[in-house]
Structure formats: C-alpha cells, structure tokens
Amino acid sequence: MLIAPQNLSESVRAVRERIAAAARSCGRSVDSVTLVAASKSQRPPLIEAAASLGVTHFGESYVQEALGKLEALAHLPLTWHFIGQIQANKTRAIAARFAWVHALDRLRLAQRLSAQRPFHAPPLNVCIQVNLAAEASKAGAPPEEVPALAQQIGALPGLRLRGLMCLPPEETAVERQRYWFARLRELFEMLNARGAGLDTLSMGMSADLEAAVVEGATLVRVGTALFGPRPPAPSRPLPAQPNPP
C-alpha cells in the first residue's frame, strides 16, 4: 500500500499548475517543461506515492543514498537524474545507474563517466553546470570556458551533451531571477548557433521556477514545493567525554 503525506496530491497539482501558468504566460507548450522531483532525503514509499500521481522523473544528489532507492523502486518506469556534485570515486555508479547527470563541470569527470558507461546502455545524458556569478561556494564552469568544454564533452562516445544547468544566486525579485536565467539561455543559444545541437536548460527550483520557465527552462528541479522541508539529517552521537581528574 502506498504511503503518502495527506497533501502530496495537492502539492503535485499546485507545482504542475505553476509550471503550466508560467508556460502559458510566455506562449510555450506545457509539455515543453519536465518536472524533475528533487527527492534527496525522501524515502522510497514517498517517491512511489509521487510516481502514482504521474511524476516520473526524480533527481538525487548523493550516490549511496540513491542506490538503495533505485533498487527499491526498480519495478517502476522512472527516469533518474543525478543532480548533485560529482565525486570522482562515484562516477562508475553514476554512469551505470542514472539516465541523466546535471552538474558536469570538468572534462576529467566527463571522461570517467564516458569510459564507465556500460556498453549496452545508451549514452548518458549530461548537462554542463555553469557558475554564472563566479560564486566561490558553488561548483560550475565559468561561462567563458563552456564553449571549449562543450566541444570536448560532445566528442565523448559514452555521453550525449544535452544542455546547460545552473544554480544562480538566490534572488527574491522576479526580474533578478530572470536576469540569471536569461544569461544561461543566451549562452545556450550561442552554443547552438555554433552547431552544438543542445535541447535542454536545467534551471529553476521551488522558489523561482516561474522565472526559469519564462526564460526557457525545459527541466525544473523541484523538491521543497513537492515534499515540504527536507527531513533533518540524523544526529550523530557526541563523542564520549573523559572523566574529570
């Protein structure tokens, strides 16, 4: 029996309506935007409940946490996206188990993913993460390095370069949100003018998905608006304290 929070159905409906309204406002087809449910920290029964409501794309950020979910939910026709930062010692599992990778920003990691993609699997769909504002706290390739990186990644046989991804600075004003997403779209359009053949903009989350859709997002990564605040990480026991002398 599926276990779902009482408001999950309403949350999925509300997020889909937000996406649809944003798409309609700029003359886009609702079907041109795919909802990727960011399911980090969520348990398999909740993901299965979301799947029963028509959500089929899920994004995970931690490999070890994700692998158990992929096993538990292997009976469902779900598409799994790796949306977290990539560690070199985790590339084999990512290459073998995921359909998409969103946060690729180095050629060395791309080469590992390509080489480790199983020969019987289709090429791994990847997006280059772009650090639009040169934020030291965030990963991503600088915009000026993306054209060369795209050309190199596009030549790797185990990968299919689909587009660009960003985690822009947090902004509350819609105009500022749109500014950053427009910068990613302009870079995307410049690459396509050079023949890159990209079709994906992974941008927009719970707080800014409308601005992202208006600026061309094709994948929006939504967690909190669907599932509520993430469960707190389990606390670790404090180390034992020595007895005072």
Domain boundaries, the chain: 8-161
How far apart CA 126 and CA 164 sit, in angstroms, is: 8
Supply the mean pLDDT for the chain.
Answer: 93
**Superfamily covering domain 8-161:** Alanine racemase (3.20.20.10)
3-state secondary structure of 146: helix
Across 6-15, 48-57, 112-121, 181-190, least confident range: 6-15
Contact of 128 with 104, CB cutoff 8 Å: yes
Q: Is the pLDDT of residue 4 over 60?
A: no
Q: What is the pLDDT of residue 229?
A: 83
Mean pLDDT computed over 183-191: 98
Per-residue pLDDT, 233: 53
Span 199-239, pLDDT tens digits: 999 999 999 999 999 999 999 999 999 998 866 554 444 44
Q: Which of 121-135, 174-188, 218-232 has the lowest mean pLDDT?
A: 218-232
Rounded mean pLDDT of 117-132? 97
Range in 30-34, 125-129, 135-139, 232-236 the model is least confident about: 232-236
Of the candidates 228, 185, 173, which has an alpha carbon nearest to the alpha carbon of residue 206?
228
Mean pLDDT of 71-81: 98
Predicted pLDDT at 50: 97
**Sequence-separated (6 or more) residues with CB below 8 Å from residue 17:** none
Q: Confirm if 80 and 98 have CB atoms less than 8 A apart.
A: yes
137 or 237: which carries more pLDDT confidence? Answer: 137
Q: Name the pTM for this structure.
A: 0.91
Q: What is the Cα–Cα distance from 8 to 223, expressed in whole angstroms?
A: 12
Q: What pLDDT shows up at residue 103? A: 97
pLDDT tens per residue across span 30-75: 999 999 999 999 999 999 999 999 999 999 999 999 999 999 999 9
- Which pLDDT band, with edges at 50, 70 and 90, does 121 fall under? very high
pLDDT value of position 60? 98
